[in-house]
Amino acid sequence: NAGVTQTPKFQVLKTGQSMTLQCAQDMNHEYMSWYRQDPGMGLRLIHYSVGAGITDQGEVPNGYNVSRSTTEDFPLRLLSAAPSQTSVYFCASTLSGGITEAFFGQGTRLTVV
Amino acid sequence: SQQGEEDPQALSIQEGENATMNCSYKTSINNLQWYRQNSGRGLVHLILIRSNEREKHSGRLRVTLDTSKKSSSLLITASRAADTASYFCATAPRAQKLVFGQGTRLTINP
């Protein structure tokens, strides 16, 4: 099994550009989440989904958009990139929300200049 | 604000020594989980302890949970160079969301 796959691994954007970070899982997990990791801040939850067609905001949702049209995919869209969105982004999936273990992708390192 | 807070933020020990990290949290929980992150990589699940459990073991890992104090500890015995990583605790104050602390950076010196 591939587990959780994120693409791309690295990306540089100019301020104001938009892009989509891809996340796919092959474990048939209902729950998927996006986190950002900044130095000294740990992981902060951006958006999460409890199943296809259902999404909700996390701790830091502003500037990001998500949708969940299939169980497998959970893309994260940056609408108009800002330098404050420079970070490492992680996608995770779990079988049953926060009551089972989470599986993480390898991360996307995003730099906004 | 973070649900969990790890202590210390950084820990440096000699190979073979034991490493202890602590986690405090704010609200009632269903379970508490510990994860490891090697530099530049994604997080890897280590152990999950449920709110009705007090202690759990997995290989060289020992986790305790004290719900009255809202705290947990992770003990790594007989540390190895490969244990060098950041360690995070995570809780689910609401069933759907897993919330992480800021992590403890562990360095094992040969």
First to last CA, chain A: 36
Check if A4 contacts B (Cβ < 8 Å): yes
Closest by Cβ to A43, choosing from B91, B95, B100: B100
Q: What are the residue ranges in chain A where pLDDT is below 70?
A: 1
| Per-residue pLDDT at B95 | 66
* CB contact (8 A) between residue B41 and residue A107: yes
* CB contact (8 A) between residue A100 and residue B44: no
| Per-residue pLDDT at A10 | 97
Half-sphere exposure of B72 (CA within 13 A, CB side): 34
Segment B28-61, tens digit of pLDDT: 888 999 999 998 889 999 999 999 999 999 999 9
| Per-residue pLDDT at A1 | 63
- Mean of per-residue pLDDT scores for chain B: 92
| Per-residue pLDDT at B1 | 44
Segment A85-103, tens digit of pLDDT: 999 999 999 988 778 899 9
Segment B9-22, tens digit of pLDDT: 999 999 999 999 99
* CB contact (8 A) between residue B97 and residue A48: yes
User: What span, in angstroms and rounded, lies between the C-alpha atoms of B107 and B70?
Assistant: 26
Is the pLDDT reported for residue B65 higher than 90? yes
For residue A17, the distance in angstroms to the closest alpha carbon of chain B comes to 25
Sequence-ordered list of residues with C-beta below 8 angstroms from that of A6, at least 6 positions apart, any chain: A21, A22, A23, A89, A90, A91, A105, A106, A107, A108
**Residue among A99, A100, A108, A109 with most chain B CBs within 10 A, to mutate:** A99
Is the pLDDT reported for residue B100 higher than 80? yes
* CB contact (8 A) between residue A42 and residue B102: yes
Angle at B107 between CA B102 and CA B110, to 5 degrees: 170
| Per-residue pLDDT at A4 | 97
| Per-residue pLDDT at B93 | 73
